[in-house]
Amino acid sequence: MKKTDLDLEKSEQISRGKRIKDIRENELHMNKTQLAKEIGVSSQFLGLVEDGRGNLVYRSIKKLRDLSGHSADYILYGLDDKVIAKTKNLLDLYSDEEIAHAISILNDIAIFIKK
């Protein structure tokens, strides 16, 4: 791995830890010991994760996902996990025919842009 790849990976790890800490403190209102017990790690290890010096395994991420209601994409990468729900709510306002027509228009626009 190149140094820049390592720097990017470390930066992502630090951001991930901050997100997990934010979820724990501001959404779940738990201390480290409580959350650690819920997701199956020690509070010391959770502290390392929140400081950007450790990573959760799949099983712990899944438990955090289930507990918090956030997607794994949000926990791991910070991707907005509310986009799917917002899009679904917007699409519910339109008929299947209207959605199909809109997709056709978007396809035509994409073809036009590529030319």
Same domain, yes or no, for 62 and 7? Answer: yes
Q: Whole-model pTM above 0.85?
A: no
Place of tokens 């290890």: 45
Tell me which residue range forms the domain holding 47: 3-79
Higher per-residue pLDDT: 17 or 1: 17
Is there a single domain that holds both residue 101 and residue 74?
no
Q: How far is CA 67 from CA 5, 34, 36, in A?
A: 32, 12, 12
Q: How high is the pLDDT of residue 30?
A: 98
Question: How would residue 2 be classed by pLDDT, with cut points 50, 70 and 90?
Answer: low
For residue range 56-113, list pLDDT tens digits in order. 999 999 999 999 999 999 999 998 877 777 888 899 999 999 999 999 999 999 998 9
Asked if residue 103 and residue 75 are part of one domain, the reply reads no
The pLDDT, as a whole number, for residue 102 is 93
Same domain, 72 and 22: yes
Looking at the 3D structure of the chain, how many domains does it have? 2
Are 41 and 95 members of one domain?
A: no
Cα–Cα distance, 15 to 21 (Å, whole number): 10
**DSSP H helical ranges for 3-52:** 3-22, 32-39, 43-50
Same domain, residue pair 66 and 18: yes
